[in-house]
């Protein structure tokens, strides 16, 4: 049965949840494939330079893939329950089981808190920051080779903005996290979220580019891809600004209370 048979889908707030889920699922799938491609290149490329770059990306992005996708995957499962209202909460729909199943992924294979500490404590500093600066290069190369394309402009601008915010957060951590590790620990969750959003901006801009190249076919698949890319840049990526602001407050208010206050 087609989805449009359900009248609930006319409500904009239900659409918001569906679009959040769609932008997350398709962006996440692209991010996982792109990272897995780095794993393949690391293993089989005959070029030593390509193998090294691929290994850097794979190592850097592993905690981001695990932490960001499982955090947002749980949110997606929860939204799927929410848009069914009370029936979603009951066992009859089956969605409450997805919510419970998705929840464990934030805990096992390294809790997401530990993934975030791995990112800021080990992955950023490794080899003098070679991997993170290499990732910035990937983003900047995409921007410089596409900034003349007026159809791609909103997406390229989104990547530019997110890259600038991620660089600012990285510099803040390098200056304030090494001298006081509580700053790194307190900011690590928001830094990982900002990293994930920036990686998604990169993926969505790449997908928009591929969809624009096929737009002339009139295939609905590409129109839907472009509409979802627009949604991501307008309605999801702005979260990056709040994560950057939180990173830069460091440990101050997080550690203000004594342990016996909890």
- Residue 121 or 134 having the CB closest to ligand FAD: 121
Region of 39-47, 111-119, 133-141, 203-211 interacting with ligand FAD (CB under 6 A): 111-119
Q: How far is the CB of 116 from ligand FAD (least distance, A)?
A: 8
- Residue 33 or 181 having the CB closest to ligand FAD: 181
User: With contact defined as beta carbons under 8 Å apart, do 232 and 23 qualify?
Assistant: yes
Determine if 262 is a binding residue for ligand FAD (CB under 6 A): no
User: With contact defined as beta carbons under 8 Å apart, do 216 and 148 qualify?
Assistant: no
User: With contact defined as beta carbons under 8 Å apart, do 58 and 38 qualify?
Assistant: yes
Interface with ligand FAD: number of residues (CB under 6 A): 7
Determine if 113 is a binding residue for ligand FAD (CB under 6 A): yes
Determine if 114 is a binding residue for ligand FAD (CB under 6 A): yes
Determine if 107 is a binding residue for ligand FAD (CB under 6 A): yes
Determine if 111 is a binding residue for ligand FAD (CB under 6 A): yes
- Residue 36 or 107 having the CB closest to ligand FAD: 107
Q: How far is the CB of 29 from ligand FAD (least distance, A)?
A: 25
Q: What is the dihedral of CA 132, 133, 137, 139, to 10 degrees?
A: 40
Closest CA to 79 of 119, 20, 33: 20
Closest CA to 139 of 125, 124, 158, 119: 158
Determine if 143 is a binding residue for ligand FAD (CB under 6 A): no
Q: How far is the CB of 189 from ligand FAD (least distance, A)?
A: 10
Q: How far is the CB of 251 from ligand FAD (least distance, A)?
A: 12
Determine if 108 is a binding residue for ligand FAD (CB under 6 A): yes
6 Rama class: left (phi>0) / alpha (psi -120 to 50) / beta? beta
User: With contact defined as beta carbons under 8 Å apart, do 135 and 170 qualify?
Assistant: no
Determine if 254 is a binding residue for ligand FAD (CB under 6 A): no
Q: How far is the CB of 104 from ligand FAD (least distance, A)?
A: 5
For 44, phi then psi, to 5°, come to: -120, -5
- Residue 111 or 214 having the CB closest to ligand FAD: 111
Question: Whose CB is nearest to ligand FAD?
Answer: 113
Annotation says 157 is catalytic: no
Q: How far apart are CA 177 and CA 187, in angstroms?
A: 9
Closest CA to 67 of 189, 167, 173: 189
Q: How far is the CB of 103 from ligand FAD (least distance, A)?
A: 9
Q: How far apart are CA 53 and CA 133, in angstroms?
A: 11
Per the residue annotation, which of 55, 109, 141, 234 is the catalytic one? 109
In the block, residue with structure tokens 């080990």:
122
Sequence-ordered list of residues with C-beta below 8 angstroms from that of 126, at least 6 positions apart, any chain:
59
Q: Which residues are catalytic?
A: 109
Residues in contact with ligand FAD by CB under 6 A are 104, 107-108, 111, 113-114, 117
């Amino acid at each position: 049965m087609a989805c449009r048979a359900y009248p609930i889908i006319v409500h904009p707030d239900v659409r918001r949840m569906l679009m959040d889920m769609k932008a997350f699922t398709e962006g996440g799938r692209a991010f996982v494939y792109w990272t897995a491609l780095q794993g393949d290149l690391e293993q089989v490329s005959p070029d030593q330079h390509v193998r090294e770059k691929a290994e850097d990306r794979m190592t850097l992005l592993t905690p981001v893939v695990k932490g960001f996708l499982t955090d947002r995957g749980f949110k997606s499962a929860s939204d799927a329950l929410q848009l069914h209202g009370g029936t979603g909460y009951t066992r009859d729909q089956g969605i409450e089981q997805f919510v419970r199943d998705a929840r464990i992924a934030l805990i096992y294979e390294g809790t997401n808190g530990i993934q975030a500490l791995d990112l800021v404590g080990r992955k950023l500093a490794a080899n003098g920051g070679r991997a993170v600066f290499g990732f910035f290069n990937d983003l900047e190369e995409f921007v410089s080779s596409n900034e003349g394309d007026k159809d791609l402009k909103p997406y390229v601008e989104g990547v530019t903005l997110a890259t600038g915010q991620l660089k600012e957060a990285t510099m803040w951590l390098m200056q304030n996290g090494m001298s006081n590790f509580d700053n790194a620990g307190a900011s690590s969750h928001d830094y990982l979220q900002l990293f994930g959003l920036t990686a998604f901006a990169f993926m969505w801009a790449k997908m928009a580019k591929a969809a624009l190249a096929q737009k002339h076919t009139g295939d609905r698949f590409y129109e839907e891809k472009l509409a979802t890319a627009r949604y991501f840049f307008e309605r999801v990526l702005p979260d990056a600004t709040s994560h950057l602001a939180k990173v830069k407050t460091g440990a101050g208010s997080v550690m203000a209370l004594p342990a016996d206050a909890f």
